Structure 1
Amino acid sequence: MTVEIPSVQKAQRSERIDIGDGLVMRWSTRDDADNIADCMALAFRWSAIGEPVAEDEDPAPNPWVKAAVKRVLSGNCPVMTEFDYAVVENTLSMNGQNPIVACASLHGVPGFYGEKVSMLFGKPEAISSHPDYRSKGLIRKLLFELIHPASAARGDVIQIIPGIPYYYHQFGYEYAIGSRSSRSIDDLTTKLPDLMSKDALLPASLAAEPFTLRVPTLEDIPYLCKLSTREAQKAQAQVGLDYGEPFWRYIIHGIFEIQESIYDTTRVTRIIVDAKSGKDCGLVMGEGAPKTELMMFTLEEGYHYREALYPVLRQFVLEGEELLVFALTQAAEHEENEAKEKVEDNDAMEGEQALGPATAVLTALAAAASADIPPVRPILLDLDPDHPITKLLESKSTADDQKNARLYTRIPSYANFILKVAPSLEHRLAQSPLAGITATLQFDFFRRVEGSAGRGLEVVIKDGRIISARDDFVPLTHEELMLAARTRKALAKAEGRPDNKKPTVFTIQFAPLSFTRLLVGDLSIDEMIYFYSDTTVSGGDDAKLMLATLFPKAKEQFQCDMFWW
């Protein structure tokens, strides 16, 4: 299965839409990066993205969000370019005012559906509006007039958003794809004393570890790709992301080329080495700041997770801590130098005010380093629930509060989606008791709503192959069905033959947009019937078996890697 790569937008799109009051919708260029980043940082100033906000704090614009937006607008992000941010510009803004008052970016994320299909997920991301411009319909306009049309034009059959509660329902999105649940260990020194003990942290002990970690280079990308497949990660998801060459090139190289602040030094990727033989034998990847997050841990065949767990995790945590300390030290030194320059420029009062906090940070960091204080930050395990590491640390960790979180999911045309993922659906059929079946599936969604192409769907299957799917299907009324049956019987009688040409037709009813949850494996057909009273399946035992076969419930949900930020 070849991983799909999004086509790169190489120039600014031409759309420029006047929406009145001096506001214009258009697509971005790199010149907009600072203004878009400032708009996003202001909008997310009260958000806990990056670091928690204290109750008595009046936070500044969010620096983690600002750095993330600058990264994706740098021109070397693999899922978007500097021309993929849709913005609302206030053309009447005064000097010193930010002209960008609302924005939404469009990512193209390579992923998979089932065993046979590689596809792109359209991902509207990093969406915000200035507080003074909210509740004016600007995000709706950006989505429906720029983002969604651009996503459809490049062939996306699905969009996902990890957004704020309820908000995106109004734009045709349904909670469907479940985010991978995670587990956390709140204090490594107490929960895992053997991991972070003083003896284990001594240089001699670290030097004797059976596994060591090394920084990957560009030459290691094929190896990283090999160890980040679903099979290598022991992932069970039927819908998720592909970690290919663009991902790894960006993560181990690209982000460091454009690093501007401490908030860009977050991802830690290391190759695991067998210390005895010197052979590369695994991969560990995750976040080092502001919290330690383990997102990938894979070993070659012949190596045991139980033996590698503590040596690898100990070094991974320490490298994340060193990365954070290094970044904070750099920031403090930068602030201290700027403060000294102000003193030299005879702006003594302002310089002394800035110098104090910077010097305090450097002093505290130096004291921590000299005291050899082991890290006590929590660690988040963002791995498959049945991954060996998750199981080994299950009793030491607690389940994430957001274990039932789902991504907003929009499938604008069910027919286009079915045809795109047909190879995986046909593969499931071929492995089932219904192999080789010929049947027609007729779906009634009661009414067409925002986010859907029609009120019905018809899928024709012949000899186990999907030969057509259309959104313009209009379910027949009971009267029309009865009259069609009479016509068929009358024709058989006139031809002197038995009525044995009755086609196999399965009729299904779903509430508008709820079919999305079955399509992506969020709910089984039995759960759909249980949770949605308007779900009905007609056509005998084979009808229900058909739906269960085509759309099985996924045991493990989608991992949405926020590196795209």
Structure 2
Amino acid sequence: MKKELNGGLILRSLSEGIAQDAANLPIFYRDIFKAEGDPHAENLLPWTQDLIDRHPVVTEDDIWVIVDPAADDKIVSAVLLIPQVWRCGDVMLPVGQVELVGTDKDYRRRGLIRQLFEVAHARSAELGHVLQFIGGIPYFYRQFGYVMAMDVGMRHSVALFSVPALKEGVQSQFTLRFATYDDIPALMAFDAYYARHFTNFVSYYDETMWRYQIDGKRPDATTNRDVMMIVNTSGDAVGYLMLHKPLINGGHGLACIAYVVGPNTSYLATYEDVMRGMNAFVKETYPENDVLMVSFAGGLTEAFDALAIETGHALGPNMGLHTAPSIPYPWYLRVPDYVALLKVMTPVLEDRLDGSAANQYTGDLNMGLYKPYYLRITFENGRVTHIGQHELGDGAPFHVQFPDLTFLYLLSGYRTIDELRQLYPDLQIARNGRVLLEALFPKQRSTITMTG
């Protein structure tokens, strides 16, 4: 696509076939982020190149630049969209990640990002995405309809040496090894189990995406990860880790962005051997980095929390071997059409209602948004028979009124009704509405690891 903007600037996708756009884009991102003091700016070069020519689903129709013809078609602003899938239980949700948002400092405050977001959101809608997400600048993306409603940062940091070495003659019950293509069916099965038991939303990788994660990226790309299988004494894989490579020389921390176990083991059983395995792995693989700590992503299941917290406590309260930030940095989420998202989630909603305080519910759930319309979900014996948007004035009683975009905090599992009411006194709710909403949208973490 191609569009002329005010001031003679041109917005176009890479699919327009302008060779210099594809060649200049990685350099553009490197230079503008470097100017902002980003220590990882150099690693944006291979990441952008991967997105242009290696990524399994990103196409030239998903990458846009704004150029200035008066400056030899210099790229002055750019954004891209990474199509992907999230899993909620056994339901697949098509979503879009907006990424690598940047503008040359000499061209800011002209509304260029707004123009780029409009085309990115339109493309996302064309691809059938029910949600968009992005990480980045505090507050900035709220102006485009986003709210911070899903953990993305690190929650626990633990010293790698905090778990004692095995006593002489004692064998590890679990070890780590690099994943291969042969492990992909097991990786997908572990993710399916994890989605059913431990999380709200989780990144879904098909076989093609797992191949890309295992060895498809350039080695120095900022999104490169080590995928490690957790293996028992019989040689069977029982889970996996996804470790962010410590790309910057001299770094002292390893980031564990996924720790997934399958049905044949547990976090309790694997944790100490996994910690020992990571300690041995970083000493062998990154000896020049002197890696001392591992940080665990904020989206990891609550089932893991006590293990990380008590590891630090066991070594003494003054040793500084564990920190637990109370608020990991969140992803921004945007839902352009609640009805479309809720319809896709219908099987999950029915499963959550089953056995709850609203088991076999028959009736409506009317959710006001302080807009000229409201949302209605109709149930019959616990099954969803209707999800729709209705105009005000039909006399239907509201079960809840959500101010601003607060329904998204509930839908994402990021906040409870009580937490929201502490911040938003104008969130009004009736007894039946509370029972239904607490059953349908429980507070639960999400594990989103897909970043291109």
Q: Is TM (by shorter chain) over 0.5?
A: yes
Distance 1:306 1:463 in 2: 39
Deviations 1:415-439 (A, max 9, x none): 2222221111122223224333332
Question: What residue number does 1:474 align with?
Answer: 391
CA 1:22–1:207 in structure 2 vs 1: closer, same or farther (change >3 Å)? farther
> In 1, are the aligned partners of 2:229 and 2:240 still within 8 Å (CA)?
yes
Q: CA deviation at 1:28?
A: 1.6
Candidates 69, 74, 82, aligned match of 1:91: 69
Distance 2:143 2:10 in 1: 23
> What secondary structure does 2:50 align onto?
helix
Unaligned runs of 5+ in 2: 248-252, 316-320
CA 1:542–1:442 in structure 2 vs 1: closer, same or farther (change >3 Å)? closer
Is it true that 1:439 corresponds to 2:363 in the alignment?
Answer: yes
> What secondary structure does 2:97 align onto?
strand
Is it true that 1:132 corresponds to 2:106 in the alignment?
Answer: yes
Distance 1:168 1:206 in 2: 56
> What secondary structure does 1:83 align onto?
helix
Q: CA deviation at 1:188?
A: 4.2
Q: CA deviation at 1:308?
A: 5.1
> What secondary structure does 2:191 align onto?
coil
CA 1:81–1:282 in structure 2 vs 1: closer, same or farther (change >3 Å)? same
Deviations 1:467-499 (A, max 9, x none): 33333x2322xxx84xxxxxxxxxxxxxxxxxx
User: Match of 2:400, as an amino acid?
Assistant: I
Question: What residue number does 2:290 align with?
Answer: 375
Is it true that 1:70 corresponds to 2:59 in the alignment?
Answer: no
Question: What residue number does 1:122 align with?
Answer: 96
Distance 2:442 2:174 in 1: 39
Deviations 1:8-63 (A, max 9, x none): xxxxxxx2110032311121248433322122222221567555xxxxxxxxxx11
Question: What residue number does 1:283 align with?
Answer: 240
Could you tell me the percent identity over the aligned residues? 25
> In 2, are the aligned partners of 1:33 and 1:69 still within 8 Å (CA)?
no
Candidates 194, 213, 218, aligned match of 2:181: 218
Question: What residue number does 1:425 align with?
Answer: 349
Q: CA deviation at 1:220?
A: 2.1
CA 1:243–1:180 in structure 2 vs 1: closer, same or farther (change >3 Å)? farther
> In 2, are the aligned partners of 1:269 and 1:283 still within 8 Å (CA)?
yes
> In 2, are the aligned partners of 1:87 and 1:103 still within 8 Å (CA)?
yes
Distance 1:457 1:392 in 2: 44
> In 2, are the aligned partners of 1:522 and 1:553 still within 8 Å (CA)?
yes
CA 1:216–1:100 in structure 2 vs 1: closer, same or farther (change >3 Å)? same
Question: What residue number does 1:488 align with?
Answer: none
User: Match of 1:545, as an amino acid?
Assistant: V
> What secondary structure does 2:61 align onto?
coil
> In 2, are the aligned partners of 1:438 and 1:464 still within 8 Å (CA)?
yes
Q: CA deviation at 1:248?
A: 1.6
Question: What residue number does 1:245 align with?
Answer: 207
Is it true that 1:386 corresponds to 2:303 in the alignment?
Answer: yes
Is it true that 1:456 corresponds to 2:374 in the alignment?
Answer: yes
Candidates 227, 235, 242, aligned match of 2:190: 227
Alignment of 1:278-357 (within 5 A): 278-290=235-247, 291-298=253-260, 309=271, 311-320=273-282, 322-324=284-286
CA 1:300–1:537 in structure 2 vs 1: closer, same or farther (change >3 Å)? closer
> What secondary structure does 1:457 align onto?
strand
CA 1:528–1:245 in structure 2 vs 1: closer, same or farther (change >3 Å)? same
Q: CA deviation at 1:156?
A: 1.1
> In 1, are the aligned partners of 2:52 and 2:60 still within 8 Å (CA)?
yes
CA-atom RMSD, angstroms? 3.3
User: Match of 2:246, as an amino acid?
Assistant: A
Question: What residue number does 2:424 align with?
Answer: 532
Distance 1:64 1:544 in 2: 47
Give the number of equivalent residue pairs. Answer: 435
> In 2, are the aligned partners of 1:268 and 1:320 still within 8 Å (CA)?
no
Q: TM-score, normalised by structure 1?
A: 0.68
Unaligned runs of 5+ in 1: 1-14, 52-61, 326-364, 366-373, 448-453, 482-503
Q: CA deviation at 1:311?
A: 4.9
Question: What residue number does 1:4 align with?
Answer: none
Comparing both structures, which one devotes a greater share of its residues to strand?
2
Deviations 1:298-318 (A, max 9, x none): 556666766755554344344
Structure of greater Rg = 1
User: Match of 1:380, as an amino acid?
Assistant: S
Q: CA deviation at 1:523?
A: 2.0
CA 1:428–1:310 in structure 2 vs 1: closer, same or farther (change >3 Å)? closer
User: Match of 1:295, as an amino acid?
Assistant: I
Distance 1:123 1:536 in 2: 32
Is it true that 1:111 corresponds to 2:86 in the alignment?
Answer: yes
> What secondary structure does 2:64 align onto?
strand
Deviations 1:292-337 (A, max 9, x none): 1223345566667667555543443444455446xxxxxxxxxxxx
> In 2, are the aligned partners of 1:109 and 1:121 still within 8 Å (CA)?
yes
Q: CA deviation at 1:137?
A: 0.5
User: Match of 1:128, as an amino acid?
Assistant: G
Distance 1:456 1:298 in 2: 39
Distance 2:211 2:71 in 1: 39
> In 2, are the aligned partners of 1:283 and 1:299 still within 8 Å (CA)?
yes
